[in-house]
Amino acid sequence: MRKFVVYNDIHFGSLYALDFDIEEGAIYNGDIIDFTGCLKKDLKDLRKMQDHLEQYAGPRYNHGNHEASERSMTDYYVEEGVLFRHAVWSYTKALKWSTKKHGSSKFKRRLSLWFNKLRRFKQVTLSDDVLRRCWHYAVEENCDVVVLGHSHPTETVEGFWDQDGKVIRVLVLPAGRNVIEV
């Protein structure tokens, strides 16, 4: 059994940011810093914070869509047969987020706060398309588990995909600090 500490969807800098710590060996699986939901005046400090996290966590820090960088499209981390990736998007959707402008107005921040509250009522499911994409990433990296964030479920969502005799397990983690055993 493999045990991991995973932070995802912290959204530091936004109105709905969660607390997080820098932990030895933890994996930071996207949307840790919210460059699309922060105030423009905070960008400089948030970039310094991101630089520190990148130096400390190295490859264990994946960018998510709210980091809004080119890395948001391609980042993943593999450890002990487990692939960590913030989300699995189409190229078009990933490109849209990776080029999003940093900094937000007070109005957009308030709107995103309400959107985040409303999303709790939406049940998170794993579509065949998402499971299939995860299977391809897993096969490419010789993994049997894929761990995602992004969707903010209230509890961990689990799914399986069996193709060509290779079964993979997919977990979508709630926002915040998660300890998983796989």
pLDDT in tens, 63-106: 999 998 888 778 999 999 999 999 998 777 777 777 778 887 77
The residue to which tokens 């397990």 are assigned: 169
Query: Would you state the pLDDT for residue 176?
Result: 97
C-alpha triplet 175, 81, 158: angle, nearest 5°: 40
Task: Indicate whether this model's pTM tops 0.75.
Answer: yes
d(CA 96, CA 68): 9
What pLDDT is stored for residue 7 in this prediction?
A: 98
Q: Would you say residue 4 has pLDDT above 80?
A: yes
- Considering Cα of 18, then 12, then 57, then 45, what sign does the dihedral take? negative
